[in-house]
Structure 1
Amino acid sequence: MPQLNPTPWLAIFVFSWLTFLIFLPPKVMAHRFPNEPTLQSTEKPATESWNWPWH
């Protein structure tokens, strides 16, 4: 099985990872949700028991 010359592949590997680590994270982190989440109230809603008509 022939061996590949590692010189061009190492450069491709390094430049691709530099692209991933330098240029893409700011672009991904710039996205915002259309609606910011709001805090829910901590009070529990009042629950009532059901009146079953056949019981």
Structure 2
Amino acid sequence: MPQLNPDPWFLVLTSTWLTYTIILQPKILSYLPTNSPNQDNKNNKTINTKPWTWPWT
């Protein structure tokens, strides 16, 4: 069964992972997140809401 023979696909697997780790990963990690969790949101306003009054209660 050729599916079990790792010989032709092992080179493809290793080259793909090397490409990912060496070239693509630093490029992806260089982007800054647009909504990072460590930003201080000083404009946080708490909205006072009234509870909904259900007619059947």
User: What TM-score results when the alignment is normalised by the length of structure 1?
Assistant: 0.48
In our comparison, the structure showing a higher alpha carbon Rg is 1
User: What TM-score results when the alignment is normalised by the length of structure 2?
Assistant: 0.47
